[in-house]
Structure 1
Amino acid sequence: MLTKFKGKKITGILGILPENEYDYDEETKEFADRQTKRLKRIMGYGKRRAVKPETATSDLCIYGLNYILKNNWINKEEIGGIVVVTLTPDYFVPHVSNIIQGECDLPKDVVCMDIAQGCSAYLMGLMQAFMLLEHMENKKVLVFTGDVLNRKAKTDKEMQAQFGGDAASVTVVENDEQAKDIYFNMYSDGKDRDCLIMPAGGYRLPRSAETAEFKDYLGDGILRCKNHIWMEGSKVFNFVQKEVPPMIEEILQYAGVSANDADWFLFHQPNKFMMEKLADKMQVPYEKMPMNIVGEFGNSSGSTIPINITYNVANDLLENERVCCLSGFGSGLTWSSALVHLGKLHFCELVTSTC
């Protein structure tokens, strides 16, 4: 899908991190020292954030929205829609968006919508929000991303060395006739869905004592249980290197800009190694593509792009308008990108949740 939106604008971004911080060296001290040091150097592992056992996705999202409301960056009456993109809803029913609407006492005419999406979550949420704005002349739409995947994994000793991180974000989008066009492209390939999958937990295979057993299911010597995400690393790496560079070239051409014209390449960040290889292949200078999020906070799935923005370029985007290329890629398989003039934001901040 290749499309563009007119008269739409991102006006504020908030990233939300949990308090609990874990150190890679401490978590891997019982494993082979040589290999863990090699992984740290190559993949960029360092610290990560994980929620408390009782914290759910909605808790991070509600904390973020209340923070925005408390600072008077928006008011409740301006909100026309809520789009939540997550792989870890509080419940199958009700939806996280409805929980947020109720807990924050928002008007009953607010459109509430949940989307299940992983690494492309942020761009999927933005696209849906822009479509809603076509029917909301004087309202704003809030895009939430959030996942708490690491709360599940931490209880298993075999999964002590988790390198993912929990996080959430809130982005405010609104109509603005003076805004520059925003360009999107999105792709999917469900034939390769199994190379990034959580086998158990849905209705096809409910969780059970059997799915919690660790076995060498793939014959590669790695113990896995079906309650956790499985990733065939080489397949995912090859997929990213094959599909993402031509997608970025396409979106730049569609928007009528060159790679040199782009000020920032703000991508989903699985690990530093993959980001360096992408930058090399696209001939993008490392200083234009921040790749430190995994080392600071862990891979937070659909929230890595807004965490990247609020951590690395917040001050720049508060003062200046920049040409930004955003991209998410992963589970589905899906890969997506957007070319947006981003800046002069009302707020752009990274906060730590106390919930």
Structure 2
Amino acid sequence: MRLSYRDKAISGLLTVVPANERKFVDEMENFNFSRARSLKLKEVMGYDRHRIVAGPVCASDLAIAGIEHVLTRGHLAREDIGALIVVTQSPDYLMPATSHVVQGRLGLHTDMVCMDINQGCAGFIIGLMQGFMLLEQPAVAKVVLVNVDVMSRKVSPRDRNSFPLIGDAASITVLERRADAGVIEADLKMDGGRHEALMIPAGGFRRPSNSETAEMMQDAEGNMRSLDHLKMDGSAVFNFVMTEVPELIGGLLARTGTTVADVDVFLCHQPNRFMLQKLADKLSVPHQKMPSNIVENFGNSSGVTIPLAATFNLTDTLLNDRKKVCLAGFGVGLTWGAMLMELGPLRFCEMIEYREDV
């Protein structure tokens, strides 16, 4: 699906990461693998450390901390918020929507749109698409897009395939109309026929959680998890990314008459360093143009890895300059999308820590 937007822009980016940092070398004893094998995987995949919540922290907690920071700093006025979008696959409740919870806890006005979007690795891209569409309405002055997940609470700490990768984080993105923003082009694809490649088998209405779904089982590779935990078919996900994503991004560049050299930076979802560098090679993108250092420092926080790549690597650049960027998200669903746009100069571009004891 091809989508285009005019006179819309990102005016600010904030990311929120938990202060609780865990190191891979300190967690290796939880896995049924030798130290040598785990250290080899650490080197290849780029495992090092990740940020995960401590205790019963929910998506709304990270979201509220981020929005309050933006409001307190004067980057955004409460009365200008016409829509609040929360993209998450780890909501506070099955109902009501987490966006309503955030609105209520912040005491925002009632003349606004609150909306949850259930998306994962491509969630930031899909959230931008929805936000830009809402800005077509004159009554919506600004959209606050929250992308947040606390998926560490649904990953087995004895699953070496997933737990060392997982990270918790939130991003707060302010969208608004801007006459000089130019055209934003996007492509999006979905294939629900492959949804089992990345999923949590139990916990929904199809298979409610119970004592049986909570039972820990060992897979053929020695990982321990239950049906209530995230399960990933690593080979299927890798093949999907290497096959579908280069074609999507390459097609977007081709149809817009854009070369790799024309793009200043590729801000992509980061499953792990190895996979992202292979993707860069497939697209003939120099590694320095596609940052791949988020998972090793913070973990894979689903779609939030895209804004994290911006706030961690490009803060000074995006505060002062305008750059041609290609955003791309891909994963659970299966879903893959890419967006080509001008980014910057931003009103704010910052990363903060969330402390559970504050």
TM bracket, shorter-chain basis = over 0.9
- In structure 2, what residue type is equivalent to 1:27? E
Corresponding residue SS for 1:187: strand
Shift of 1:225: 1.1
Deviations 1:77-127 (A, max 9, x none): 110000100000000111111111111111101100001001000001000
Aligned ranges 1:45-194 → 2 under 5 Å: 45-136=47-138, 139-153=141-155, 161-194=163-196
TM-score normalised to structure 2 length: 0.95
Q: Aligned residue for 2:308?
A: 307
- In structure 2, what residue type is equivalent to 1:232? D
Q: How far apart, CA to CA, are the structure 2 residues paired with 1:251 and 1:74?
A: 33
* 1:244 aligns to 2:249 (yes or no): no
Aligned ranges 1:199-278 → 2 under 5 Å: 199-216=201-218, 221-278=222-279
Q: How far apart, CA to CA, are the structure 2 residues paired with 1:184 and 1:281?
A: 20
Larger mean Cα displacement after TM superposition, 198-207 or 176-185: 176-185
Check the 8 A contact 2:155/2:230 in 1, yes or no: no
Alpha-carbon spacing, 1:108–1:204, altered in 2? closer, same or farther (3 Å):
same
Shift of 1:195: 0.9
Shift of 1:19: 1.1
Shift of 1:161: 4.8
Deviations 1:281-320 (A, max 9, x none): 1110000000000000010012110111111111111111
Check the 8 A contact 2:306/2:327 in 1, yes or no: yes
Q: Aligned residue for 1:282?
A: 283
Q: Aligned residue for 2:319?
A: 318
Corresponding residue SS for 2:185: strand
Q: Aligned residue for 1:294?
A: 295
Q: How far apart, CA to CA, are the structure 2 residues paired with 1:112 and 1:255?
A: 33
Check the 8 A contact 1:81/1:141 in 2, yes or no: yes
Larger mean Cα displacement after TM superposition, 337-346 or 156-165: 156-165
Q: How far apart, CA to CA, are the structure 2 residues paired with 1:158 and 1:318?
A: 39
Q: How far apart, CA to CA, are the structure 2 residues paired with 1:54 and 1:161?
A: 18
Give the root-mean-square deviation of aligned CA atoms.
1.5
Shift of 1:149: 1.0
Shift of 1:216: 4.4
Alpha-carbon spacing, 1:27–1:220, altered in 2? closer, same or farther (3 Å):
closer
For structure 1, the residue ranges without an aligned partner over 5 or more in a row are none
For structure 2, the residue ranges without an aligned partner over 5 or more in a row are none
Corresponding residue SS for 2:224: coil
Q: How far apart, CA to CA, are the structure 1 residues paired with 2:78 and 2:109?
A: 7
Q: How far apart, CA to CA, are the structure 2 residues paired with 1:112 and 1:256?
A: 37
Alpha-carbon spacing, 1:278–1:157, altered in 2? closer, same or farther (3 Å):
closer
Alpha-carbon spacing, 1:57–1:173, altered in 2? closer, same or farther (3 Å):
same
- In structure 2, what residue type is equivalent to 1:353? Y
Shift of 1:157: 5.3
Corresponding residue SS for 2:42: helix
Corresponding residue SS for 2:243: helix
Q: How far apart, CA to CA, are the structure 2 residues paired with 1:106 and 1:176?
A: 24
Q: How far apart, CA to CA, are the structure 2 residues paired with 1:307 and 1:346?
A: 16
Q: How far apart, CA to CA, are the structure 2 residues paired with 1:147 and 1:77?
A: 26
Q: Aligned residue for 2:11?
A: 11
- In structure 2, what residue type is equivalent to 1:4? S
Shift of 1:222: 3.9
Check the 8 A contact 2:99/2:114 in 1, yes or no: yes
Check the 8 A contact 1:27/1:161 in 2, yes or no: no
Deviations 1:114-144 (A, max 9, x none): 0100100000100000011101356100110
Check the 8 A contact 1:53/1:151 in 2, yes or no: no
Q: How far apart, CA to CA, are the structure 1 residues paired with 2:46 and 2:138?
A: 43
Q: Aligned residue for 2:348?
A: 347
Check the 8 A contact 2:83/2:140 in 1, yes or no: no
Q: How far apart, CA to CA, are the structure 2 residues paired with 1:135 and 1:18?
A: 35
Check the 8 A contact 2:190/2:333 in 1, yes or no: yes
Shift of 1:221: 4.9
Check the 8 A contact 2:159/2:223 in 1, yes or no: no
Q: Aligned residue for 1:2?
A: 2
Q: How far apart, CA to CA, are the structure 2 residues paired with 1:191 and 1:89?
A: 24
Alpha-carbon spacing, 1:339–1:158, altered in 2? closer, same or farther (3 Å):
closer
Corresponding residue SS for 1:265: strand
Q: How far apart, CA to CA, are the structure 2 residues paired with 1:149 and 1:52?
A: 12
TM-score normalised to structure 1 length: 0.96
Q: How far apart, CA to CA, are the structure 1 residues paired with 2:42 and 2:221?
A: 22
Question: How many residue pairs end up in the alignment?
Answer: 353
Shift of 1:255: 2.5
Check the 8 A contact 1:138/1:175 in 2, yes or no: no
